[in-house]
Structure 1
Amino acid sequence: MRPWLRNSLLAASCLMPGMVLADGIDAAALYAQKCASCHGAGRLGGMGPALLPENLGRLKPEEAAKIIAEGRPATQMRGFSGELSAEEVEALASFVMTPLEKVPAWGREEILASRQVLVRPDQLPDRPRFTADPLNLFVVVEAGDHHVTILDGDTFEPLTRFASRFALHGGPKFSPDGRFVTFMSRDGWITRYDLWSLQVVAEARAGINSRNIAISGDGKVLAVANYLPNTLVLLDAATLEPLEVKPVQDPFGKKSSRVSAVYQAAPRQSFVVALKDLPEVWEVAYSDPPPKSFGFVHSYEQGMVEGLDTKERFPVRRSEVAEPLDDFFFDPTYAYVIGASRDGRKAVVVNLDVRRPIKELPLPGMPHLGSGISWERDGRRVLATPHLQEAAISVIDMKSWELVKRIETAGPGFFMRSHENSRYVWTDASLGKAKDTIQVIDKESLEIEASLRPEPGRTAGHVEFTRDGRYALVSIMERDGALLVYDATTLQPVRRIPMNKPVGKYNVWNKISRSEGTSH
């Protein structure tokens, strides 16, 4: 029996066996009969996605009930309204939205058992199978029906569209040369895709509930941040073979933590890790031996240095903070990390070299630093971040770490974008009443230049630029949505490309070059 199946069956015994509702419906038995063949006996996923509240995102119980009854268009999920009563549908919806009593293990053995190499490296072409510029492609994530479109950034014509895993999360990541893109689903599936031959080449499941991924600067190591179980998983980026499954615990091994996110810090040859439940920031070396930034004064072979076992393949340096931090942003050297406090009222600057906080910034309204961007203004680098709970953009001097300006906007927003060839910053107001508004801010004056309403009444967000910065693409995040292409200088729309809830689009060149206006 394959380990992942064994664990699913073990989990089934922990799923409130005989969970019978007041009207006599045995929800667990109903799940086993109607759902387990696709979604796993333990709700950990199979052909269909994992059915755990942590993996279903913001899906409400009533929305889950509707999907069970009516199915999901353009997927293999059929409706059960003709087989189940309304009460049985509600019972099933309640059941899948109930957390597991016990989370089964998901380690090296389970990852290996899930791994599939679909195309060997020697089977791949030595040049792209299309005439489009491979570095000006857009990878578009369509959440409406869980598909991905590969779009030519010069002609704005789709090259292909393919089904993805359920609920891609955290943004795809690219190999340093831009040839491969790696996706992660909320239920831990990692998919490596070749943009030259337009095909999936490998898959593996790295966790039960995952948050995001990062690829090392040399393109060799893929890091996966997991909520369930509490691990940081390091994979070979090309083959998806597990290199290490690192339990995330305090220094004494007494308390574990969910991993909020992992980031590539290429100049430091390390990953930086945000922890949900521990007041620490981790830096994990991926080079062998560890980089000089880790402060090791002896050779790799000499073993213990500064209290760390340097013979460990991926050693950890811990920076203690007063409370857990989320949503990181970095200066260009990656020596300074800015994180948001859990209470949403401030940000903290941590120096990773001295391993402690050096500055606290009062930023009420829950700054969304993960979507922040930076640029040079009057000879000084500034950081701009939207706020999730306030209609404002905060602009911060990245040398003095002082607030330069607070820009009042149409509403709280989630995304910001710019480009080194553009004079403007684009930001949305998608979390408020003005969800259909995109505002354009002058980088020098820090004044709002224009307020655009791409499609009135419909949610607009996630701007991304073409490689040269000439055009800006805006998502209309509706099931019958679109990408709207704007001239980035005149701010006039030039094209509409129909899409199914395009929640994100990622330009290959802007990502691999770490373009000045792209979040990382």
Structure 2
Amino acid sequence: MKLKNLLLLPLLCSLSFGGGAELYLKYCSSCHGEDRLGGHAPPLFPPFFNIPEERLYRIIREGAVGMPSFKELKEEEVKQIVEFIKSPVEKEKLRWDEERIKGSVERVYTKKVEVKNLKDYTLVVERGKNLVWVMEGERLLDKFAFSSMHGGIKFSKEGVAYIPSRDGWIGRYDPTKGELKRVRACIYLRNIAFYGGLLVASCWVPSRLVVFDSQLNYVKSFELHGRINAVYELYIRDGFIFTFKDKPLVGFLNYKDLKLTYENLGVALEDFIIDPLEEYLIGSTRSGLEIYSLNDLRLVKELKALDIPHLASAYFWYSKGDFYFATPLLNKPVLSVWKAYSWEHVKDIPLDGNGFLARSSYGTPYVWVDMSTDSMLLLDKRSLEVKKFIPAPGKRVTHAEFTGDGRIAYVSVYEKEGALMLYDGVSLKKLGEFPANLPAGKYNFVNKSRYFEGAQLGYQVFMEKCWGCHHTTENAFGPSLRWSIQNREKALVIAQILNPENTYRLLGYSRNAMPRIELKEGELKALMKFMEALKDGWMD
């Protein structure tokens, strides 16, 4: 009798929601998961899914960024789907504890590959075949299986890659050993961060932070009472930072003692990022941007925007004495450009379609913005003028990424019979093409490390302020920057930049040949980050 009742449950569930279960399975489950716990797209059950019905109807009918429209559905069918996804999910389905985490570990062995230059080391996601490609510059070294990749790949300084998936799996890929270790941190994952040998996963289902060591051995979990936006590395606080979508809190996790603390922002954020110099927390709300000082979390400025900025895709750069950042808006075909650190709105640039990612590198003169069309918008970093670039007429292109020096640009032709296209990052000359089935994200060792974000800004400061007399690795009129930072104390280098008339004797010179360079605090900070990356050989 009990077995019979159990077999009737799916039918009863379907009837109780007026056919919503069947409609959900037909139209929604391929992205949101058959159990509504999330897949390529977020979970669809309360409290993680909490959208007013009027807006929900509109999203189903008209679509949204990353989601197709379902205009063919009748009004009653939309209503049935809405009723179904607003119903609760059994609590047992949401349980994922330490025992299950430790019991999920598995290893897969792949081809051993030698990456000669980590700056050219890039992983490419081929979503249509659930594969990750290993690229070095223009060379394809290997492919291995990994499904539902989401949230951004992280790298150790040794080149080990940590790969997250929507459904909670995290992979540790070591190309030199040809090993992929996997562990399931949770049921639905937002993103990961890696700092000081610790990896932290932010999870929606169940709501928590999960900490692993660099070998993906379980360390600790922290239950969260809210829906986390993301977790990021925060070097100035020696650990990690995160915020919530539904609580006005910012959390800090210390790397050394794993102490978790909270501070109140006063408002919940839709999304947030940390600037490359780690001075500000930049949060988005439905009305625009809120800028907080990381020193004391004081609100510095509120900026109005046409819609919610997609901060996870924002790109920062330096030009003509100012720092800038640009980000697409989530629900409008607009690229919004701002001055960073002075926090002034510069301009809004219309796009041909909803933009999702703004990407660049210090070695290319453009910010590359996809528009859900066959063209990319290229924003000139110096003039702020724009032009269109069409890699594959009539086919959707998305997600530009670059080698660490910006020499090569990778662009996805996001079609089932698509391709990974390679271009010169400056001249836009085509360098190569690899057939691919729905090629999606691309993640370069340099460009996807927060450690190098400030250094990339510093390179741009160097080119405008120092390049006339100094080169990066070779002597010119003055010594190379690499030699200077490798052979002199950092404090002395800073003193020489700011006050050369009074420091030349300390450097052993009989007279001063260096002019005083007027640098703002941010310019000096960025320049020193670049010199530190030069010192360690990470940048040229």
Does residue 333 of structure 1 match 2:277?
Answer: yes
1:174 aligns with 155
User: How far 1:511 sits from its partner (Å)?
Assistant: 2.6
1:204 aligns with 183
Q: Deviations over 1:150-193 (max 9, x none)?
A: 122143xx21111113x111111111332x11111111111111
Q: Give the partner amino acid of 1:454.
A: P
Alignment counterpart, residue 114 of structure 1, candidates 104, 125, 142: 104
Q: Give the partner amino acid of 1:331.
A: D
Does residue 447 of structure 1 match 2:426?
Answer: no
- Relative to structure 1, the CA distance from residue 215 to residue 117 in structure 2 (aligned partners, 3 Å threshold; closer, same or farther) is same
Does residue 464 of structure 1 match 2:464?
Answer: no
1:285 aligns with 254
Q: Could you tell me whether the CA contact under 8 Å between 1:228 and 1:258 is conserved in 2? A: no
The answer to which of 276-285 and 186-195 deviates more is 276-285
- Relative to structure 1, the CA distance from residue 98 to residue 162 in structure 2 (aligned partners, 3 Å threshold; closer, same or farther) is farther
Q: TM-score, normalised by structure 2?
A: 0.68
- Relative to structure 1, the CA distance from residue 380 to residue 24 in structure 2 (aligned partners, 3 Å threshold; closer, same or farther) is closer
- Relative to structure 1, the CA distance from residue 199 to residue 404 in structure 2 (aligned partners, 3 Å threshold; closer, same or farther) is same
1:316 aligns with 261
Cα distance in structure 2, aligned partners of 1:108 and 1:135: 36
2:481 aligns with none
Cα distance in structure 2, aligned partners of 1:407 and 1:472: 22
Cα distance in structure 1, aligned partners of 2:115 and 2:185: 35
Q: Could you tell me whether the CA contact under 8 Å between 2:113 and 2:175 is conserved in 1? A: no
Q: Could you tell me whether the CA contact under 8 Å between 1:50 and 1:187 is conserved in 2? A: no
1:138 aligns with 122
Q: Could you tell me whether the CA contact under 8 Å between 2:229 and 2:272 is conserved in 1? A: no
SS in structure 2 at match of 1:112: helix
- Relative to structure 1, the CA distance from residue 225 to residue 131 in structure 2 (aligned partners, 3 Å threshold; closer, same or farther) is closer
SS in structure 2 at match of 1:325: coil
Q: Give the partner amino acid of 1:475.
A: S
SS in structure 2 at match of 1:267: helix
2:13 aligns with 19
2:175 aligns with 195
Q: Could you tell me whether the CA contact under 8 Å between 1:232 and 1:259 is conserved in 2? A: no
More helix by share: 2
Q: Give the partner amino acid of 2:369.
A: T
Large movers: runs of 4+ above 6 Å? 22-25, 94-98
Alignment counterpart, residue 241 of structure 1, candidates 217, 220, 223: 217
- Relative to structure 1, the CA distance from residue 437 to residue 108 in structure 2 (aligned partners, 3 Å threshold; closer, same or farther) is same
- Relative to structure 1, the CA distance from residue 337 to residue 196 in structure 2 (aligned partners, 3 Å threshold; closer, same or farther) is same
Q: Could you tell me whether the CA contact under 8 Å between 1:371 and 1:415 is conserved in 2? A: yes
User: How far 1:467 sits from its partner (Å)?
Assistant: 2.5
Q: Deviations over 1:352-377 (max 9, x none)?
A: 32124321111122211111111112
User: How far 1:419 sits from its partner (Å)?
Assistant: 1.4
Q: Give the partner amino acid of 2:297.
A: R
Cα distance in structure 2, aligned partners of 1:436 and 1:98: 39
Cα distance in structure 2, aligned partners of 1:364 and 1:484: 33
User: How far 1:446 sits from its partner (Å)?
Assistant: 0.6
Identity value in percent: 34
- Relative to structure 1, the CA distance from residue 439 to residue 23 in structure 2 (aligned partners, 3 Å threshold; closer, same or farther) is closer
User: How far 1:118 sits from its partner (Å)?
Assistant: 6.1
| Structure 2 residues not aligned, in runs of 5+ | 1-5, 45-79, 458-540
Q: Could you tell me whether the CA contact under 8 Å between 1:347 and 1:363 is conserved in 2? A: yes
Higher Cα Rg, which structure: 2
Q: Could you tell me whether the CA contact under 8 Å between 1:268 and 1:334 is conserved in 2? A: no
Alignment counterpart, residue 135 of structure 2, candidates 151, 154, 160: 151
2:144 aligns with 162
The answer to which of 226-235 and 450-459 deviates more is 450-459
Q: Give the partner amino acid of 1:146.
A: N
Q: Give the partner amino acid of 2:221.
A: V
Does residue 508 of structure 1 match 2:452?
Answer: no
SS in structure 2 at match of 1:458: coil
Q: Give the partner amino acid of 2:228.
A: V
Q: Could you tell me whether the CA contact under 8 Å between 1:321 and 1:356 is conserved in 2? A: no
SS in structure 1 at match of 2:236: helix
1:411 aligns with 353
- Relative to structure 1, the CA distance from residue 264 to residue 24 in structure 2 (aligned partners, 3 Å threshold; closer, same or farther) is closer
Q: Give the partner amino acid of 2:361.
A: H
Alignment counterpart, residue 417 of structure 2, candidates 477, 480, 483: 480
The alignment covers a number of residue pairs equal to 404
SS in structure 2 at match of 1:514: helix
Cα distance in structure 1, aligned partners of 2:209 and 2:238: 17
Alignment counterpart, residue 230 of structure 1, candidates 207, 218, 222: 207
SS in structure 2 at match of 1:170: coil
Cα distance in structure 1, aligned partners of 2:388 and 2:321: 28
Q: Give the partner amino acid of 2:90.
A: E
SS in structure 1 at match of 2:374: coil
Alignment counterpart, residue 101 of structure 1, candidates 90, 111, 115: 90
Q: Give the partner amino acid of 1:55.
A: G
Cα distance in structure 1, aligned partners of 2:202 and 2:214: 14
SS in structure 2 at match of 1:138: strand
- Relative to structure 1, the CA distance from residue 98 to residue 114 in structure 2 (aligned partners, 3 Å threshold; closer, same or farther) is farther
SS in structure 2 at match of 1:361: strand
Q: Deviations over 1:71-103 (max 9, x none)?
A: xxxxxxxxxxxxxxxxxxxx9xx9999762324
Q: Give the partner amino acid of 1:181.
A: A
User: How far 1:470 sits from its partner (Å)?
Assistant: 1.6
User: How far 1:50 sits from its partner (Å)?
Assistant: 6.5
User: How far 1:20 sits from its partner (Å)?
Assistant: 5.2
Q: Give the partner amino acid of 2:266.
A: V
Does residue 265 of structure 1 match 2:234?
Answer: yes
- Relative to structure 1, the CA distance from residue 198 to residue 95 in structure 2 (aligned partners, 3 Å threshold; closer, same or farther) is farther
Q: Deviations over 1:241-280 (max 9, x none)?
A: 22221111xxxxxxx2122211111233121112122121
Q: Could you tell me whether the CA contact under 8 Å between 1:223 and 1:234 is conserved in 2? A: yes
- Relative to structure 1, the CA distance from residue 332 to residue 319 in structure 2 (aligned partners, 3 Å threshold; closer, same or farther) is farther
Give me the CA root mean square deviation: 3.4
Q: Deviations over 1:375-398 (max 9, x none)?
A: 112222211111122232222222
Cα distance in structure 2, aligned partners of 1:118 and 1:391: 42
Cα distance in structure 1, aligned partners of 2:388 and 2:33: 41
Cα distance in structure 2, aligned partners of 1:143 and 1:114: 23
User: How far 1:472 sits from its partner (Å)?
Assistant: 1.0
SS in structure 1 at match of 2:308: coil
Cα distance in structure 2, aligned partners of 1:226 and 1:498: 34
- Relative to structure 1, the CA distance from residue 148 to residue 264 in structure 2 (aligned partners, 3 Å threshold; closer, same or farther) is same
1:423 aligns with 365
Q: Could you tell me whether the CA contact under 8 Å between 1:16 and 1:101 is conserved in 2? A: no
Q: Give the partner amino acid of 1:368.
A: H
Q: TM-score, normalised by structure 1?
A: 0.70
